Amino acid sequence: MSSGGQIDSESGGVGRGVLGAIYLACSWTWVIGMFLPVLQVRDYGWPGYVVFLVPNCVGAMSIGFLLKSGWGEGGAGAFLRKHGHAVALFSAVTVLFHLYFLGGIAQEIGQTFVPGVMPGGAWAAVVVIALGNLWIGGMRTGGWWARAVVVLGVSGLAVWLAYWTTGGHAYALPRTHGTKGYTAMALAGPAIVFGFLMCPYLDVSFLRTRAEESARVGRLAFVLSFALFFPALVLFTLAYSEAFNGGAGMNNWFYLHMAVQASFTIGVHLREQRAVWRGTSKWVDETNRRGVVFWQRAVWLAAGPAIVVGAMAWEQGWFRFGYESILSMYGFVLPGYVWSRWVWGRMVGGGGVGAWLASVGVATPGFAYGYLMGEHFWMAMGVAVVVFGPVFAAVWGRRGLAGGG
């Protein structure tokens, strides 16, 4: 058994790969997969869903092929150790994103499980769900696999209950055209594609699975997860998108699906924190421990406010603004790190933190302006700055060296 209750390192067969695939699919079906397609369909019609799904699956599946198993050079474990600060930041943002989302749907969760519950009781229930995952994070690997299977089963049950209790009226074919049109989708698309191609490389559950499974079983897990289980779960999101967009009847069983998936993902990330606190984590050493602990503490300081703000935002009608503001971290900030520090670094042997921070700093005003004013062109330009920033820095650095500067 590996540290922190993680996946064991010995080889396994097809059954082990299937269990790993279910675990990966459930850990990645976070609040983005459960709600972003709803917004994509609202804005761009079902083509917006395709723009979301394809890079999502390709980016996540590529880990099984571009990173080796094990902790040696070129392995997922070595990547995890080298980029531990960024992985910790990704986990912190992901946990807070889920807590914000759970706060937003707190009342709906309460109505699903305990009809007539007061809002305060619903918020308390969300806090219990979130904190309970810290304790559950100590479960052994087999327990996590079993829990992933249960979570997948609960989502399947929610699909059926929503259909049965409404006679099928909770589902409808997604619209072809959205409120913003295909031109806006083409301009917003680069952030979505760039984000989902790069962000999987900062997900600790992906990296640990790839590092600790054999090459064959690990690759099988990623293929099955993102060619089968994850698309199936996200197809459920597409099916209920019209319920949220006014084209079908709303049903509270959708919130059961959201609650268990969000709870599972929170637990996946918090169990890594438990391993760090115990000093048993294989990917945190003295060179990056301080930074990792900083982001973990930041999560706990911001957990309560994130839930309350999410609930207030949902009640006041500005939930989407907060949701997409956090989502921008996955659109250009975090993927910019992977691009600058790993992809570009592999191609040219460079890619420094300074180039990443500078490009993100330059891109942020344009990205924010494009979002707030509905000018998607500036969002595309923001992504372009992040992509080409390290290239510019490398060229500028070489010219400076050549000139003795």
Residue 131 pLDDT: 60
| Alpha carbon distance 218, 221 (integer Å) | 5
Q: Where are the beta strands (DSSP E) in 204-274?
A: none
User: Which of the listed residues 248, 283, 316 is the one where a domain comes to its end?
Assistant: 316
Residues 264 and 332 in one domain: no
Residues 347 and 305 in one domain: no
Residues 338 and 307 in one domain: no
Residue 234 pLDDT: 93
| Alpha carbon distance 341, 347 (integer Å) | 10
Residues 236 and 382 in one domain: no
Residues 300 and 176 in one domain: yes
Its pTM stands at: 0.88
User: Which of the listed residues 316, 342, 374 is the one where a domain comes to its end?
Assistant: 316
Query: Where residue 23 sits, what CATH number does that domain have?
Result: 1.10.4160.10
Residues 184 and 201 in one domain: yes
The gap between the terminal CA atoms of the chain, to the nearest Å, is: 53
| Alpha carbon distance 31, 320 (integer Å) | 12
Residues 285 and 341 in one domain: no
Q: Which has the closest alpha carbon to 210: 7, 3, 394?
A: 7
Q: Which has the closest alpha carbon to 375: 96, 118, 187?
A: 187
Positive or negative, the CA dihedral 140, 210, 275, 308 is negative
* Number of domains observed in the structure of the chain: 2
Residues 361 and 212 in one domain: no
The tokens describing 153, both together, are 């089963």
User: Which of the listed residues 316, 332, 354 is the one where a domain comes to its end?
Assistant: 316
Residue 223 pLDDT: 96
Residues 294 and 199 in one domain: yes
Contacts 24+ apart (CB under 8 A), 311-314: 311/103, 311/104, 311/106, 311/107, 311/119, 311/123, 313/100, 313/104, 314/103, 314/104, 314/105, 314/106, 314/107
Residue with tokens 């409120």: 179
pLDDT in tens, 142-181: 567 788 898 999 999 999 999 999 999 999 999 999 999 8
Residue 121 pLDDT: 59
Residues 96 and 207 in one domain: yes
Residue 398 pLDDT: 54
Residue 141 pLDDT: 56
Residue with tokens 């942020």: 364
Residue 191 pLDDT: 92
Per the CB < 8 A criterion, the answer to whether 238 and 229 are in contact is: no
Residues 36 and 49 in one domain: yes
Per-residue tens of pLDDT for the chain, all 405 residues: 333 344 444 445 788 889 999 999 999 988 899 999 999 999 999 999 999 999 999 999 999 999 999 988 889 999 988 888 889 889 989 988 998 998 888 877 776 666 665 555 566 666 666 565 555 555 555 567 788 898 999 999 999 999 999 999 999 999 999 999 899 999 999 999 999 999 999 999 999 899 988 889 999 999 999 999 999 999 999 999 999 999 898 888 998 899 889 888 888 888 777 777 666 677 776 667 777 778 777 877 887 788 888 888 888 889 999 999 999 999 999 999 999 888 886 666 555 787 888 889 999 998 888 888 888 899 999 999 998 887 777 676 554 433 443
Q: What are phi and psi of 371, to 5 degrees?
A: -75, -50
Residues 165 and 49 in one domain: yes
Q: Which has the closest alpha carbon to 161: 112, 195, 114?
A: 112
The tokens describing 236, both together, are 């459920």
Residue with tokens 């699909």: 159
| Alpha carbon distance 353, 173 (integer Å) | 45
Domain extent for 194: 3-316
Residue 375 pLDDT: 85
What mean pLDDT, rounded, does the chain reach? 83
